Homo-oligomer: A and B are copies of this chain.
Amino acid sequence: MTNKRPHHHGNLREALIIAGVQLLEEGGVEALSLRKCAAIAGVSHAAPAHHFAGLGSLELAIVSRGHDKFAEYMIDARESAEQTPRARLGAICDGYIKFSRAHFALFKFMFQPRELEPDLFDEATWNQFQVASTASYQVLRDACEPFDHGKAGDQVTEAMVWSMVHGYAMLFSKKPSKLAPFELVPEFSTLLPPLTLKK
């Protein structure tokens, strides 16, 4: 219905998301504002209200865009890897960390836990987020599937790998890491413990 240049601007929603990602990556979360996004898109400061339920909705749309890129990084790494379960898992972790380093502001923003009450967002933004975040997580989940963690179930492998790669990305992606009192941060591949394949 409103797909092709609906009125004045012609896909303002998309332009606002792109502007938001740009502001976020250039100046961090403090530089992100609805009014600046509107200015970059060339519309008045109140125009975004017709596409997002508020700043929170725009933020969630930016997070969704982040998940899209995030999944791309992991999938690219997986495709370039040796095709064994262990190598695929290692490659996906590398993609995870590579993304966090290449787009640290966005990565940090994506995993800053929010109040995720669906009624705070417009439906389109919410649905898009559900799809994007589930898809990016599924990449990691699939890579864990071949491994066995005994009677405790697959969730243990997923939780272990995800915890480790996520903690590593959060703590050691920004360098020099003021958080980490390390001279040299070890490679992630040296941290991942051995895993046993299913039966």
Contacts and interface: CB of A to CB of B under 8 A. Distances in A.
A112 interface: yes
Contacts of A191: 156, 159-160, 163
Contacts of A179: 111, 113, 133
A42 interface: no
B115 A108 contact: no
A120 interface: no
A1 interface: no
Given A164-B163, A171-B162, A191-B160, A186 B155 contact: yes
A152 B184 CA distance: 11
A32 to B, nearest CB: 14
Q: Which of A104, A134, A156, A164 has the most CB of B within 10 A?
A: A164
Contacts of A183: 155
Interface of A: 28, 104, 108, 111-113, 115-116, 133-134, 137, 152, 155-156, 158-160, 162-168, 170-172, 174, 178-186, 190-191, 193
21 contacts: A108-B112, A112-B112, A113-B174, A113-B178, A116-B178, A133-B179, A137-B181, A152-B190, A155-B185, A156-B191, A158-B182, A159-B182, A159-B186, A160-B186, A163-B167, A163-B168, A163-B172, A164-B164, A165-B167, A166-B167, A166-B171
Question: 8 closest Cβ contacts across the A-B interface?
Answer: A167-B167, A163-B167, A166-B167, A193-B193, A163-B168, A160-B191, A116-B178, A164-B164
